[in-house]
Amino acid sequence: MVRGYAALAVASIIGGLFALSRAQAEPVTKQMEVNGTTLRYVEEGSGDPVVFLHGAVGDLRIWDAHRPQIADQRRFIAYTQRYFGTVDWPDEGKLFSLQTHVQDLIAFVQGFNSGPVHLVTWSYGGQVGTYAALVQPNLFRSMVHFEPTFDTLLADLPGGSSANSEMLNRFGPTESALQAGKPEDAALRLVEAVFKLPDGAAAVQPEPWPTIWRENARTVLPSLKIGPGVPVSCRQLGRLKVPTLVVEGQNTYARFSMVAEQLAACLGNGLLVTMPDVNHDGPYRNPAGFAAKIESFLDLAD
């Protein structure tokens, strides 16, 4: 057990150092007013715009290691969704919902007035991005989703309930920390659950990751309360012709794998690929590998 934990820690440190070595100095943070709120974003490079959308307990900083590789050929753009990040909330999170984030994404893309964009997402961001594309497909030139969470696709799949339970059974420590009034601990326990990390391992991952997770701790409870969204059938997804790459981790939970495979199969122009030696942590564990898949697919989409 100790030897396994030590090996994981060493691998995490090496991966983190590699990611940090690829990241350049942080670009100036910009702002855009959309739907009565201020979204903060960074951009670098020129050419076709590629918008990066984070998932739970994250913000635009999670894409720092991907930025140099993407910005070398294209216009990299990453923004922090409403209620995420470090900015004070203007309210008590009353508008924290999937619908809010979908509408914010649509308004954000429209705000650039630069034509359709490539979209890259991770986890919850994939659900936001897919719903946005169903509403406004003309805004998106292509999409790349790493293990999107899309519960409505899981509900009717054989074994879907069991697959969901397999992962949710690891959420006990997260719920206990929330009940104890320790949101930062809850954020770390959530990361450990979805990344298949040992207890206590999230806190010793390379910086800035533990800091990012802790600073987004206030989003854990509202994120867990978000509903599955309006049901979307495979037939409806089939009408969405935006070229889409869905990436799953080789070692991920069955729940994430089933959703990824179903989404890719249903989409009118979808492709599924597997990223080796990772689980839901793929963009974190191997940012260069994920960036390479993004670049290859965008070359095809162009």
Rounded Cα gap, residues 171 and 76, in angstroms: 34
Domain ranges of the chain: 2-301
Q: Residue 225 corresponds to which amino acid? A: K
Query: pTM for the complete prediction?
Result: 0.91
Question: Is CATH 3.90.79.10 correct for 2-301?
Answer: no
First to last CA, the chain: 47
By DSSP bridging, strand 140-146 and strand 244-249 are parallel
CA R_g for the chain: 18
Tell me the pLDDT of the chain (302 aa) as tens digits.
333 333 333 334 334 434 444 445 678 999 999 999 999 999 999 999 999 999 999 999 999 999 999 999 999 999 999 999 999 999 999 999 999 999 999 999 999 998 999 999 999 999 999 999 999 999 999 999 999 998 888 888 899 889 988 988 999 999 999 999 999 999 999 999 999 999 999 999 999 999 999 999 999 999 999 987 889 999 999 999 999 999 999 999 999 999 999 999 999 999 999 999 999 999 999 999 999 999 999 999 98
Contacts of 177 (CB under 8 A, 6+ apart): 183, 185, 186, 189
Contacts of 88 (CB under 8 A, 6+ apart): none
pLDDT at 152: 85
Bridge partner residues of 77 (DSSP): 43, 51
Contacts of 30 (CB under 8 A, 6+ apart): 40, 41, 42, 43
Give Cα separations from 51 to 42, 134, 269 (angstroms).
10, 17, 20
